Structure 1
Amino acid sequence: MINIRSLVKRYNGLTAVDGLTLDIGENEVFGLLGANGAGKTTTIHMLATLLKPTSGTATVNGFDIVAQPSKVRESIGIVFQAPSSDDMLTGYENLHIHSLLYSVPGNIRKKRIDEVLELVGLFDRRHDRVKTYSGGMRRRLEIARGLLHKPKVMFLDEPTLGLDPASRETMWKYVRRLVKEEKVTIILTTHYMEEADLLCDRIGVIDKGRIVALDTPANLKASLGGDIIRIKTHDKNAGEIARKFDFVQKAEFADGFLVLSVKDARRSLPALLQVIEAESAEFSSPTLNDVFIRLTGRNIKEEAEGGFMERFAKYD
């Protein structure tokens, strides 16, 4: 569904995307993970034809992003990070206007609006003004709007940012449902590791404009091996001390913690604390955040990079 070859974007000498090559399959939920400034938003801007690449090529649904931008836009839907629905209009009125902009045929317009409202659980609230909707409801309305013209690809930019845990789980349910019922490919950006783990078929970790890891969530976590121990310590020799134990597979510092991969954390931790002066210690099974730390040397922050148009505006 998406083919990217050697894609590059530079801004006045700054390389935001550096030779990106990637294939994303039909009906795949693909997670693009990266810290602020890593290049993921710029990549999506190019795929959505909001930015022209400096070099390289990409196609979406078989259409070239530079030579056929109108065809690409007909093939995609976007859910912005920042709300963009008119809160003085009803949910139905917002979708009706969008259906006119995307030339949804008049004979199926109402049926299609009702379908997407039902899909995201807002049919009973369709005649209420959007200003009366909760944050989660507004986000679901934006998904419905993006689906109106039956796109082949949906870009979800931080779809659950700022939502409470219950609303976030509700959003996950609807994302899974739209993949199943609408047969759409989803490109998801998120700072929530549990969200990526739950929803994505594959994940690409992007750092400094390059994909540094690409695999399923399970395989990425398995690549770390064993359990993870984090020890808060100011002992600069702690890593060297830890490596002397045969149960320690890897040892490195990240965000002020000594991060260790070990075979059995419950048995290993007491032995380590006997020889390392620690302020605190904890252990867990590997998570996607551990993978991210290992690959980039830092913890991904649960903050937004800014909405699509807001980011685009600074380059306009």
Structure 2
Amino acid sequence: MSKSLQSIPYSVLDLAPIREDGTPQDAFHRTVDLAKHTEKLGYTRYWLAEHHNMPFIASSATSVLIGHVASHTSTIRVGSGGIMLPNHAPLVIAEQFGTLESLYPERVDLGLGRAPGTDQLTAHALRRGVKSGPNDFPDQLEELRSYFDPTRGKDNPHVRAYPGEGLDIPIWLLGSSGYSAQLAGKEGLPFAFASHFSPRDTVPALDLYRREFKPSKHLDQPHAMVGVNIIAADTDEEAERLSTTLQQQFLNLIRQNEFPLPPPVDSMEDIWTERERQALQQQLSSSIIGSKDTVRKKLYDFIEKTGADEIMVISQIYDHEARRRSYEIVAELFQEHSS
């Protein structure tokens, strides 16, 4: 059955981008402004992502920034998209999110990933020991959940999370392949897929999640949120120009260049090679770029293709006012004819 936009929650993923002309402090000011703006526009969640050693992302201390955003908003849910659990002791994450939930009751989401969110050298610097890595993710997840649920912690009753124990904090699993999709299904947890940088695996992973899903006390049926790059503007031409910031960002990643977020350019033709252009077109193939009418059509097609239960919008736009406008246009589409 086809879903209408009006029946689907819409949310925000923010990387707190550090612009070429700015600082992390500037990025945090823009993040707070965007959170307030999208709260008024009816967005359901405002998630921040853990990345490290990336000069264009300021959200490395993710839990701290979540608290900052929550303190400046009042209704929108705030959370992690995600916390990279292998980088942390599960007890520490239980305490951090127990603290956030205690400060901002019924507004906190804990999205978890198994990737490092960085390069291997930085991952080594972050992790507590050589045995802590992505392959340990199911055990780390079990340990983390035990700190919230006292009935699961009977095997280790002497180590408990205060605050944290007894709190009902929604846990989401995040992924860009089938691994977390399968685990989320087996555990009966909501699942968020990173289609914004892994478009080819989107439908197979979502199908796997739904096939493997087992009802739990958290969910009686699967709930899949899909992250997608959306750059909306008043005209197709303006949106295409704004999107060159995203293209340059991914090109820098391919080239292993460490630069802050670049401003848009009139053309990418003199910047990328033909091979790089093809690689980027493939990696960003699910991106939705254009005017309101163009985005409407592409968004309907995307939801029809994925069967997404919720959309998480990522808009890496250099100009802050243009970014605010993009989120306005998307909200208008989700709210059309909803009254």
- TM band (smaller chain): 0.3 to 0.5
Q: TM-score, normalised by structure 2?
A: 0.32
Q: Which has the larger radius of gyration?
A: 1
Q: Which structure shows the higher helix fraction?
A: 2
Q: TM-score, normalised by structure 1?
A: 0.34
